[in-house]
A = this chain, B = another copy of it.
Amino acid sequence: MDGFAVQADATFGAGPHNPLQLRLFEHAYPVNTGRPIPAHTNAVIMIENVNFLDDEIFEIESAVTPWKNVRRVGEDFVASEMVLPGRHTISAYELGALIAAGAHEVSVVRKPHISLIPTGSELAPADKLDAAAAKQGLVPEYNTVILAGIIEQLGGVADRRPIVPDDYDALKAALLDAVRSDSDMVVINAGSSAGSEDYTAALIRDLGEVLVHGVAMMPGKPTILGIVENKPVIGNPGYPVSAVISFEVFAKPIIETMLRLPESARPTLEAVSARKIPSKLGQEEFFRVKLGNVAGRVIAAPLPRGAGSITTLTKADGILRIPAASEGIDQGSHVRVELLRKLDEIHRTLVMIGSHDLTLDVLADELIEHDVYLSTSHVGSLGGLLALKNKTAHFAASHLLDAATGEYNWSYIRRYIPDIPVRVVNGVMREQGFIVPKGNPVNIKSFEDLARPDVRFINRQAGAGTRVLLDYYLEKEGIDPDSIIGYDMEEYTHTSVAVAVLSGVADVGMGVPAAAYALGMDFVPLAVEEYDLVIPEEYLEDEKIKALLEVLRSRRYKERIQALGGYGIAKTGQEIPESAS
């Protein structure tokens, strides 16, 4: 304490009616907090409790007991006491404790060095991949960028090596070089399966030993575990999701063992499966899932299985493992999910299920400013309404036209979710039409053109508002769906329809102009429709829904969606009342 160090005895007898005088540098010595007290003193009078009579003499009105306001040596640490146990990552607090304890040097575990060898003749370093190279079929190498990030996060040191083409001798030279460096482990990515240019297994066998080739998990099946010159060598699968999951299952525990840390596990959470998830018997499946807390239950909705799609990892909130002995799980089952995000973020996530629109991306970006995360699943308008029924979403997006009345959504709401009181709020007015290649080469102008024998169509799935719109017009114009080539080929979003047309799978599809414009394609307008958000009344007081409505009604949001083209904002954020009918 700041004050005056004294011999406590010298203060005895002082009281409010009996003040005692002490002389500076005779009975009392000024001290500040944190400083040692002079020898032969054993207590400190706080500065607030003294009353100076002149420069050298002060008065006190109460005594102090011995060791009052004095911290004794060893209050915090005593010689021989353990400051920190072993096998432990030193935190910021603990750095302070080590210094306080005078431990200026501590023995630590060497950070494991992991060499990453990307291999594949189709690969180019991302920063050197120009448009010309991409045209030749070269693709950017990014698996080792992800793996390096994971290694650094675990506490290791990543050594990303140059890309090696599909050539046995080149790969052999690269592997030997890595194994003979100061690396503690080598990971070859990819070339681990049985293709004609997959040399990894043969190479490890020639230079050392293959312990495992192929594991009963998906993604990640073609993993190789081996030893070369006494160092672990892993042949990691090439699809990005397989590469990550296999690495986390096999390489991560090795790195943690090298760090002498216990194997870390992600926090888990109990969730309810939003739908039936079939899984192949005999292999452990790793599903990427989206999570959201709806009506007090955390809902897990699986993302597409494809191991080639890195976005199924970046969009995922968690990983759901289905064991090898299971054939899958039923809708509504309770499952344990490994969290990829903070629990806190899951609880601040607004879950939308329903029709896809490109404005949802802008909505998500704006909601973040309100600390709200938007999770969207694109299953079509009807699927969205059913999600409200199953309480797996906070709101749905829908553009279901009632052909009889020309009204949107309300008749479907009455039919499919009559027991759920909802509000309908306009998201945007949008054009619908034909998405065709630049210049409209097959000259699509009307629905009749879809039935031409030289035209291949790409459809949306049943229950999608766009499909309803198409069927409405086909019926109105007396066109038999069976006469349309590709009527039974389905995609799930506007952009995937546009991509199908762009890549030549089809000549025309139906969708919104923003999807066509984004890919430099042409658009033939047909109708303007209402894209609405359907919000159960029970969530209206939820802060996340309030933030949603605030964003929808903000000028900034409207300006951003206008800039996309093909959208009308006159009703955006307005409630659409149920018609009197």
Contacts and interface: CB of A to CB of B under 8 A. Distances in A.
Interface of A: 2, 30, 32-36, 42, 47, 66-67, 71-88, 91-97, 99-100, 102, 104, 120-122, 126-127, 137, 139-140, 142-143, 145-150, 152-153, 166, 193-198, 238, 240, 244, 262, 264-265, 267, 306, 308-311, 313-314, 342-344, 358, 361-362, 364-365, 368-369, 371, 373, 495-496, 498-500, 502-505, 514, 517-520, 564
Contacts of A33: 193, 195, 238
A67 B456 CA distance: 14
13 contacts: A2-B193, A2-B194, A32-B166, A33-B193, A72-B500, A79-B518, A80-B564, A82-B361, A84-B314, A85-B365, A85-B368, A92-B145, A264-B342
B92 A146 contact: yes
A100 B129 CA distance: 11
Given A30-B196, A72-B500, A86-B368, 12 more contacts: A32-B166, A33-B195, A42-B504, A73-B502, A81-B495, A92-B147, A92-B152, A95-B145, A96-B146, A99-B126, A100-B240, A262-B371
Nearest to A241: B93
Contact of A34 (B47, B66, B94, B238): B238
A240 B368 contact: no
A84 B517 CA distance: 21
A34 B85 CA distance: 49
A77 B126 contact: no
A196 B96 contact: no
Q: Is the interface of A mostly helix, strand, loop or mixed?
A: loop
Contacts of A504: 42
B196 A32 contact: yes
A420 to B, nearest CB: 29
A425 to B, nearest CB: 22
B93 A314 contact: yes
A137 B80 CA distance: 22
Contacts of A198: 2
A145 B91 CA distance: 11
Nearest to A82: B361
A520 B78 CA distance: 11
Given A30-B196, A95-B146, A140-B100, A75 B306 contact: yes
Given A78-B498, A310-B93, A99 B195 contact: no
Contact of A97 (B127, B265, B314): B314
6 cross-chain pairs, A with B, having the tightest CB-CB distances, nearest first: A92-B149, A80-B518, A74-B499, A2-B195, A82-B361, A36-B137
A219 to B, nearest CB: 13
B142 A95 contact: yes
Contacts of A86: 365, 368
